[in-house]
Amino acid sequence: MNEEKEVTEEEQPLVLQKLQDKFGDALLASTEIRQGVAVVVNKENSYALLEYLKTDLAYSYLVDVTAVDNSKLESELMQYDYARFMVVYHLYTYEGETSRIRVKVPVHEKDLKIPSVIELWKGANWLERETYDMFGIEFEGHPDLRRILMPDDFEGHPLRKDYPLRGRGERESFNFEKQNV
Amino acid sequence: MGLDFGSSTEQTDGNIITTTIDKVVNWGRKNSLWPMPFGTACCAIEMMATLASKFDLSRFGSEAIRFSPRQSDLLIVSGRISIKMMPVLKRIYDQMPEPKWVISMGACASCGGVFDTYTLIQGVDQFLPVDVYIPGCPPRPEDLIDAVMQVQRQITKGELPKGSEVAYNE
Amino acid sequence: MQGGMERTTGEKMVLNFGPQHPATHGTLRIVLELDGESVVKATPHCGYLHTGFEKLGEHLDYNQYIVVTDRMNYLSPLSNNFGYVLAVEQLLGIEVPERCQYIRVLMAELSRLADHLLWLGTAALDLGAFSVFLYSFREREKLYSIFEKTTGARLTTSYTRVGGVFRDLYDGFENDARDFITNFPKALKETHTLLTRNRIWMDRTKGVGAISSDDAINYGLTGPCLRATGVAHDLRKAEPYSSYEKFDFDVPVGTNGDSYDRYLVRMEEMIQSCRIIRQALDNLPDGPFSLEDNKVMMPDKSDAYGHIEGLIHHFKIVMDGHGVQPPKGEDYCATESPNGELGFYIVSDGSGTGYRIRIRPPSFFHFQALPHMLEGGMVSDTVAVLGSLNVIAGELDR
C-alpha cells in the first residue's frame, strides 16, 4: 500500500536498523514501503551505503537508477535544502524479507556530480548514461559517460522540468550532415 | 491489365497482342513491387502480420521483402521516426533506385500520432515525398494491402511517383 | 579467409550492424569489431526509437497515459497496460474486485503467449527457419481475434483503466479461450518437432551467447533471460500481485544461460501460461468487472450517455483537476511482463498528472548485456543471440 508511515523503533526492519547503526546522521530520512524500505542519504555517503548494501546485505540486483527533477515540487525542495535533483536507486535482494530498497540522494544544481556505482553493478552503466542524458547529472568514475538516447550533438536535457514537451525546434530543423550514420 | 488486344487473323488465332512498352513495363512493375520495410515500432508488427500466414501480401506480388534499399522500389515507413532515426531513413530513401514509391504507414509516420514530443518527427513528409498515407494506430493489415493496391493503381495509370515529380520540378 | 580453419587474421575490421537490418527487429544498432570472423568488441547503440514516453507522462493524466503504454512493448500491450494501472492503483491505495484481477491475469497471460509467439517466429526467421514464422503467426492471429473481440483493437488495446477494465469479457470469450488453449499445445508441438532436436538449430544456439547466473544478476537481467541461467525468479511467485498467488504454475529454468536455454524456457512458459489461463477460466469469479467507486473509475458508456449522474461522473473524471488524483507520494511497482521485470516508478504531487513517471524496461538491461554475450564469439552468432534476447526497441528507447 501507498501509506508510508513513520517507522517506530521496535517494528522497523532489520535492514533499516543496520543502516541507521552504520550511517547515523548521514541518513536524512527513512520510511517503510511495500516489500521494503526507502532511505534518503546525503551525497557524501551514498557510495558507501550502496556498497554496504551490495556487499554485506546481498542486494545483488540493481533494479533501476534514475532521477527526479524536484524544481516544481516545493515540499521536497524545502525538505532537502533546495537540492534540485534527486537521484533514485532501486535495489533488490533474492534473500531475506526486505526484498526491495529505494535509496534517494539529493543533488544540488551547482554541483551536479555523484559517484558512479558501475564498480558494484555492471548494469548501472547504461542507467547512469541515461540519467546523464536526460538530466545532466554527471557520474564520477563512469568510464564512458556520453549520451545514449538522444543524438550526440543534442543540446539540453529533456527530462528537466524547464525543457518544453515539444522541444526547442530540434524536431523541425535538425542537421542531417552532423549525424554519425 | 490495360493491354490492348490487337486484331487477330485466323492464322494467329488471338495469340498476338499489341501494346506499348510503357504499359508492359508498368504491368510487370505493378505486380512485382519489392518493398523495403522500414519498420521501427508497432506498425512493423502489423506489417509482419500482413506478410504472414493469414493476410499474405504475396497475393499482390509484394512478398519479396528486400532489406537492401538498392533492390527495392517501395519504401514502407512504418512506425515512429525520431530525430536520431530520420537521417538513416533519408539515406535509405536516397539509396533506392528510381522510380520509387513511399508509403507512410500509420499515424506516427504520417503526423507524429499521439507522440507530440521533442524527439519525434511530426510526419516524414517533411523530409520525404510520400505517395500513400495509411491512417490508423496501427493500421490493420487490410489497410496496408489497400495502400499497396493504391500504389499499383498509380502505376497502372502510368503516374510517376511523387518523388520523381519533385526531382523533375527542381 | 585464408587457410580454411584459420579464423583470425590479426587485422581488425569494423562492421556496422543496423539500425536498419532485418535481424535488429526495428532500430537496434551494434558496432562490431571483427578479427576475421570472431567478434573482438561489440558496442550496442540505442535511442533510435526514443519517443519521450517519460516526458509525456508528465503532461497526460493517469488514464490518458494508458494509451501511451500500449506502444511501449508492442508485442504484448496488455501486459504494459496492466503493469501501469497496477502502479497507479497502488499509489492510490485501492484494490480492484476479484473478477477484474482474474480478467487482467487472463489478458496478461494471453499476451504473454502472443509475445513469446512473435519472439519465436522472428528468432527462428533470423536463423532461416521461415516456416516457424508462419506457424507462429497463424496462432497469433487467433489471439488477435480474441483481443479484438475483447478490447476492440488488435494491437493497441488500452484495455485497462485505473480501477478496472473498460468492459467485461464478451459472451463467447470462455469458448474462444478454451478452444485456443486446447489446440495451442498441439501447434507448439509442431514447432518442437521442427526446432528442438534440429541439428542446425542446436548448432546455432547451443552454447551461443551464454551468460552465468552471477553475471546475469549483476547486469540486471530478468525474465526468461535470467531464468535460462538457472535462477528461478519470477515476480508472479516472488511478489504475487493481482491474485497470482491463487494459481498453480511452475517456473521453468535453464542451466547454461545460452540461446538454446532461453528458447526452451520460453517454450515451456507458454505451456505454463496455458495452465494459468485454464485455472482462471475455471475459477472466474462473478461480480463487478471494475471498481464501483465513481471517484476513480469511469462510468459505463451507456451510463454516461443515458443518465445525468453518469454524465456528471464522466465529466468530473475527464476534466482537469478532477478524476484520478493520487495523494502526494511515490511508488515503484513491478510486474512480470513477458520479457522480464517491467517497473513503473511514479512520483505524484497530488495533481491529476504524474509528476514523474519512470519506466524500468527489461529490454534495456538485456541489450546492455549483449557485448558480454557476443565478445569472443562468431559474427554469425550475433543474430542468434540478439534474436534470443527479444529486445523490443519500443521499450528499450521509450
Say if A66 is an interface residue toward chain C (CB within 8 Å). Answer: yes
Tell me the residue range of the domain where C61 lies. Answer: 53-397
Which residues of chain C lie closer than 8 angstroms to B90, CB-CB?
Answer: none
The CA distance from C52 to the nearest CA of chain B, in Å, is 6
Is residue C6, in this structure, part of any structural domain at all?
Answer: no
Between CA C367 and CA C339 the distance in angstroms is 12
Is residue C209, in this structure, part of any structural domain at all?
Answer: yes
- Say which residue the cell 469469479 belongs to: C285
Instruction: Yes or no: say if C297 and A65 are a contact pair by the CB < 8 Å rule.
Output: no
**pLDDT, position C274:** 93
pLDDT tens figures, C101-146 = 999 999 999 999 999 999 999 888 888 888 898 899 999 999 999 9
CB contact under 8 A, A171 and B116: no
**pLDDT, position A171:** 76
For chain B, domains (ranges, CATH) are 33-169 (3.40.50.12280)
**pLDDT, position A74:** 83
CB contact under 8 A, A151 and B84: yes
* Residue C168, φ and ψ in degrees, nearest 5: -70, 170
Residue type, C328: K
Say if A1 is an interface residue toward chain C (CB within 8 Å). Answer: yes
pLDDT tens figures, C183-226 = 999 989 988 998 888 898 998 898 888 899 999 999 999 999 99
* DSSP bridge partners of C359: C344
Q: How confident is the model at residue B166 (pLDDT cuts 50, 70, 90)?
A: low
Q: For residue B156, give the nearest of B34, B1, B32, B6 by alpha carbon.
A: B1
Q: For residue B75, give the nearest of B83, B84, B88 by alpha carbon.
A: B88
Q: For residue C396, give the nearest of B144, B18, B55, B41 by alpha carbon.
A: B41
ipTM of the complex model: 0.87
Which residues of chain A lie closer than 8 angstroms to B91, CB-CB?
Answer: 181
Is residue C237, in this structure, part of any structural domain at all?
Answer: yes
Say if B38 is an interface residue toward chain C (CB within 8 Å). Answer: yes
CB contact under 8 A, C332 and A2: no
CA C350 to chain centre: 30
* Residue of A37, A92, A97, A104 for testing the chain C interface, max C β-carbons within 10 Å: A92
CATH number for the domain that contains residue C59? 1.10.645.10
Angle, nearest 10°, between helix axes C259-282 and C98-126? 150
CB contact under 8 A, B120 and A163: no
Q: How confident is the model at residue C9 (pLDDT cuts 50, 70, 90)?
A: low
Instruction: Yes or no: say if A64 and C360 are a contact pair by the CB < 8 Å rule.
Output: yes
**pLDDT, position B63:** 75
Q: Is the pLDDT of residue A9 over 80?
A: no
Q: For residue C319, give the nearest of C351, C357, C355, C354 by alpha carbon.
A: C351
Say if C65 is an interface residue toward chain A (CB within 8 Å). Answer: no
Between CA C111 and CA C102 the distance in angstroms is 14
B88 to chain A: nearest residue by CA?
A181
Residue among A163, A166, A171 whose CB faces B83 most closely: A171
Residue among A35, A68, A150 whose CB faces C347 most closely: A68
Between CA C350 and CA C42 the distance in angstroms is 45
Between CA B99 and CA B163 the distance in angstroms is 8
Instruction: Yes or no: say if C303 and C166 are a contact pair by the CB < 8 Å rule.
Output: no
Say if C329 is an interface residue toward chain A (CB within 8 Å). Answer: yes
Q: Is the pLDDT of residue C398 over 90?
A: no
Q: How confident is the model at residue A2 (pLDDT cuts 50, 70, 90)?
A: very low
* DSSP bridge partners of A30: A39
Q: How confident is the model at residue C23 (pLDDT cuts 50, 70, 90)?
A: low
Instruction: Yes or no: say if C42 and C371 are a contact pair by the CB < 8 Å rule.
Output: yes
Say if A63 is an interface residue toward chain C (CB within 8 Å). Answer: yes
C-alpha cell at C391: 529486445
Q: How confident is the model at residue C338 (pLDDT cuts 50, 70, 90)?
A: very high
Query: What separation in angstroms does the CA of C349 have from each of A19, A76, C56?
Result: 28, 10, 16
* Residue C35, φ and ψ in degrees, nearest 5: -120, 105
Phi-psi region of A103 (alpha: psi -120 to 50; beta: other; left: phi over 0): beta
A72 to chain C: nearest residue by CA?
C355
The CA distance from A63 to the nearest CA of chain C, in Å, is 6
Spell out where chain C has E strands: 12-17, 29-35, 38-45, 160-161, 164-165, 329-337, 340-348, 356-360
Residue among B48, B54, B82 whose CB faces C48 most closely: B82
Q: For chains B and C, what is the number of CB pairs under 8 angstroms?
A: 96
Q: Where are the alpha helices (DSSP H) in chain B?
A: 21-30, 42-51, 86-95, 106-111, 141-157, 162-169
CB contact under 8 A, C137 and B54: yes
Is residue C248, in this structure, part of any structural domain at all?
Answer: yes
**pLDDT, position A174:** 60
Between CA A56 and CA C2 the distance in angstroms is 53
Which residues of chain A lie closer than 8 angstroms to C58, CB-CB?
Answer: 165
**pLDDT, position C277:** 93
Say if A146 is an interface residue toward chain B (CB within 8 Å). Answer: no
Which residues of chain C lie closer than 8 angstroms to A61, CB-CB?
Answer: 217, 220
CA A53 to chain centre: 15
Angle, nearest 10°, between helix axes C77-92 and C98-126? 140
Instruction: Yes or no: say if B158 and B26 are a contact pair by the CB < 8 Å rule.
Output: yes
pLDDT tens figures, C134-183 = 899 999 999 999 999 999 888 888 888 888 888 888 899 999 999 999 99
**pLDDT, position B94:** 86
The CA distance from B128 to the nearest CA of chain A, in Å, is 13
**pLDDT, position B84:** 86
Residue among B45, B84, B118 whose CB faces C75 most closely: B45
- Say which residue the cell 552532423 belongs to: A178
How much of chain B, in percent, has pLDDT values that exceed 70?
88
Between CA C227 and CA C272 the distance in angstroms is 14
Subunits in contact with chain A (3 or more CB pairs closer than 8 Å): B, C
**pLDDT, position C3:** 38
Cis peptide before C19 (omega within 30 of 0): yes
Mean pLDDT, chain A, whole residue set: 83
Between CA C367 and CA C342 the distance in angstroms is 15
User: How many domains, chain C?
Assistant: 1
* Residue of B81, B84, B92, B122 for testing the chain A interface, max A β-carbons within 10 Å: B84
With a CB-CB cutoff of 8 Å, which residues 358-377 of chain C face chain A? 358, 360, 364-365, 368-369, 372
For chain A, domains (ranges, CATH) are 14-140 (3.30.460.80)
B81 to chain A: nearest residue by CA?
A171
Subunits in contact with chain C (3 or more CB pairs closer than 8 Å): A, B
Residue B78 or C296, more confident: B78
> What's the rounded mean pLDDT across residues C335-364?
90
Residue among C328, C364, C372 whose CB faces A126 most closely: C364
A75 to chain C: nearest residue by CA?
C349
> What's the rounded mean pLDDT across residues C291-318?
82
Q: What residues contact residue A74 under an 8 Å CB cut-off, 6+ apart?
A: none
Task: Give all strands of the β-sheet with A85-92 in edge-to-edge order.
Answer: A27-33, A36-41, A100-107, A85-92, A61-69
Name the interface residues of C facing B (CB cutoff 8 Å).
Answer: 19-22, 26-27, 47-52, 55-56, 67-68, 70-71, 74-75, 118, 121-122, 133-135, 137-138, 140-141, 144, 154-156, 393-394, 397
CB contact under 8 A, C47 and A150: yes
Between CA B124 and CA C21 the distance in angstroms is 20
How many CB atoms within 10 Å of residue A3? Answer: 11
Q: Is the pLDDT of residue C240 over 80?
A: yes
Is residue C328, in this structure, part of any structural domain at all?
Answer: yes
CB contact under 8 A, C238 and A99: yes
Residue among A62, A127, A159 whose CB faces C54 most closely: A159
